[in-house]
A = this chain, B = another copy of it.
Amino acid sequence: MRVLGIDCGSQVTGFGIIDSGEQRHHLVVAGAIRPQPKKRFSEKLLEIHHELDQLIAGYGPDIMAVEDQFYFSNFRSVLKLGQVKGAVILTAARAGIPVVEYSPLEIKSAVTGYGRAEKSQVQTMVEKLLRLAAPPEPLDASDALALAICHIHTSATQVRIRAAASTAAATRHGDEPC
């Protein structure tokens, strides 16, 4: 499975693509989209859209993971971030790629095992899990990779839960009197 994580932002939008393996995950590409500051907001959205379109066309991810925010300090920032997120989700939808969302608590738990981990702890764990020589930079790219890892771990857990439930059901069925 090839997973694209996107950390949305109007100034910097981080991206990271990971291939999940049986035992290990492999970094494919990571970086950040930085729209030119002097551009109008609609042109910034267009730049993010075009760069993301190229990433999708070039690397063919199976799924995209974005953050499901639920708290902000002010309305202006949430509205702006929401607009970037809308453009990012639409870009994936246009390319036929399903979109999943994870809360910050889910991401931190999946990557570090602790839902209230600091950003630096998440970055260190991303470095270790992907066996990188240095922490992924910028932080936006690291957060995007954390999103992709979160999806891979969560999917694997769901597969294990379904397998366990299936085994338990088969056992119960076998125990039934004839």
Contact = CB atoms under 8 A, between A and B. Distances in A.
A82 B86 contact: yes
Interface stretch (A66-74, A118-126, A152-160): A66-74
Interface in A77-101: 78-94, 98-99
A2 interface: no
Contact of A83 (B41, B86, B91): B86
Given A75-B70, A75-B71, A98-B42, A90 B86 contact: yes
A78 B89 contact: no
A45 interface: yes
A98 B43 CA distance: 9
16 contacts: A45-B86, A45-B90, A45-B93, A46-B94, A49-B90, A70-B75, A70-B76, A71-B75, A75-B78, A78-B78, A79-B85, A81-B82, A82-B85, A82-B86, A86-B90, A87-B87
